[in-house]
Amino acid sequence: MISNTLKSAILGIGIGVPSKILTNFDLEKMVDTSDEWITERTGIKERRILEDGENISKYAIKASLEALERAKVSPEEINLIICATLTPDYLIPSLSVLVQEGIRAHNAGAFDLSATCSGFIYGLAVADQFIKNNPDWKILVIGAEALSRKTNWEDRTTCILFGDGAGAVVIGKSPEPEKRGIIDFILGTDGSQWHLLTLKGGGSCFPPFDKRLPKEEYYIKMQGREVFKIAVKMMEKVSLELLERTGLTTEDIKLLVPHQANLRIIEYLREKLNLPKEKVYINIHKYGNTSAASIPIALYEAELEGKIQKGDLVLLVAFGGGFTFGGALLRW
């Protein structure tokens, strides 16, 4: 186990989600689907979607400002901004740069991190290492996605899944390392199955407007059944390995906060870990899959609802395209 002498911890958390709600009944008017079909297969009832003219930076900034306020940290005290996203406003500048300017954190470095749905956990792991080497630093870790802008609204298998939003945390040295802080991480990748979940158009291989590529490839494409099988296997493996190497058990966990991709995946994981329903946080019905933003949004709501208290053991686990996967154990 990692030493208690120095731990990083989440000092404050915030979210930013669009006000526009797209329900399953709205989708019934757009594609051949139904509320019953979507709910049964995904657990999703509605999702938040950017309005025309809105950008995800607006909500990343909103989430960051709330996290700073709750952490009682000023923007000038932030040393680094890490933004996990696969849907920045622009390729240049990065989303983290827009957040840095938007919150006036003029003493901070900033960079984006791309690890799809596992991005927030990857960002936490990077921030944790920076704090270990720079104990006085304060770091913003943000998960922010505008997946509605990468969704094919004519494809009923994917357009039902995704939503937009942002969540942010301030990471700093734990004031009580024996009772509070990040305990351990696992990060992993399986690149052998990358072709099962793709967004090919717009990169350097197929630049925008490249006529060699069908228009469908400029949106997210997924082979759902195959992705499901790999996701549940990897999320279970990560969760059990984290507990084993830290000397903890599922009985020690106060709350599991998984990536909100599909209710069936979450339920499968819960059963494999032998956790009661009250120990698993679920809000996919309200937001859909917000990729890197899903875990911080869920963490925020779990705290708001009193599901986690100071000192509680929380397990985070995610799986995303690539394939990437990751887990984190922390004392809240």
Taking only the tens place, the pLDDT of each residue in 16-50 is 999 999 999 999 999 999 999 999 999 999 999 99
State how far the Cα of 152 lies from the Cα of 158, in Å rounded to an integer.
Answer: 7
Q: Read off the pLDDT band of 210 (50, 70, 90).
A: confident
Residue 83: per-residue pLDDT: 98
Q: Is residue 100 part of a domain?
A: yes
Give yes or no for residue 2 having a pLDDT over 60: no
| Residue 44 sits in the same domain as residue 138 | yes
Which domain covers residue 123, as residue numbers? Answer: 8-173
Instruction: Tell whether 1 is covered by a domain.
Output: no
Residue 169: what residue type?
V
The DSSP annotation for 55-94 comes to -HHHHHHHHHHHHHHHHT--GGG--EEEEE-SS-S-SSS-
pLDDT at 4 over 60: no
H or E stretch covering 181: strand 181-189
Q: Report the distance separating Cα 312 and Cα 314, nearest Å.
A: 6
Whether 49 and 92 map to the same domain: the answer is: yes
Segment 79-99 mean pLDDT:
97
pLDDT of residue 41: 94
Percent of the chain with pLDDT over 70: 99
89 and 27 fall within a common domain: yes
Question: Are 169 and 256 within one domain?
Answer: no
> What whole-number percentage of the chain has pLDDT above 90?
92
* Residue 117 is among the residues annotated as catalytic for this protein: yes
104 φ/ψ angles, rounded to the nearest 5 degrees: 60, 45
Catalytic-labelled residue, pool 24, 262, 283, 289: 289
pLDDT per residue as tens digits for the range 302-318: 999 999 999 999 999 99
Lowest mean pLDDT among 90-99, 135-144, 221-230, 275-284: 221-230
**Same domain for 119 and 220:** no
Same structural domain for residues 148 and 215? no
Does residue 3 surpass a pLDDT of 60?
no
For the beta carbon of residue 194, count every other beta carbon within 10 angstroms.
Answer: 12
CATH of the domain at 259: 3.40.47.10
Rounded CA gap, 281 and 120, in Å? 17
Q: Is residue 149 part of a domain?
A: yes
Residue 168's pLDDT is 98
Name the residue with tokens 């956990």: 121
Mean pLDDT, all residues of the chain: 95
Kindly state the average pLDDT of the residues 170-191: 94
Interval 103-124 mean pLDDT: 97
Judge if 189 and 167 occupy the same domain.
no
User: What pLDDT sits at residue 270?
Assistant: 96
Known catalytic residue: 4? no
Q: What is the pLDDT of residues 122-160, one digit of tens each?
A: 999 999 999 999 999 999 999 999 999 999 999 999 999
Identify the pLDDT of residue 177.
86
Q: Tokens 């397990």 correspond to what residue?
A: 315
- Are 125 and 213 within one domain? no
Higher model confidence: residue 295 or residue 6?
295
Strands 80-84 and 313-320: unpaired
pLDDT of residue 76: 98
Tokens of 150: 């990468």
Look up 259 and say whether it is catalytic.
Answer: yes
Residue from 117, 159, 262, 283 carrying the catalytic annotation: 117
Q: Is the backbone of residue 185 left (phi > 0), alpha (psi -120 to 50) or beta?
A: beta
Counted domains in the chain: 2
Which tokens go with 240? 């059990």
Q: Which of 24, 83, 159, 259 is catalytic?
A: 259
Q: Looking at 138, 173, 208, which one is the last position of a domain?
A: 173
Q: Is 9 helix (H, G, I), strand (E, B) or coil?
A: strand
Q: Are residues 200 and 306 in the same domain?
A: yes
Query: Is 165 part of any domain?
Result: yes
Residue 3 lies in a domain: no
**Same domain (yes/no): 13, 76:** yes
C-beta separation of 235 from 174 below 8 A: no
User: Domain ends where: 173, 194, 220?
Assistant: 173
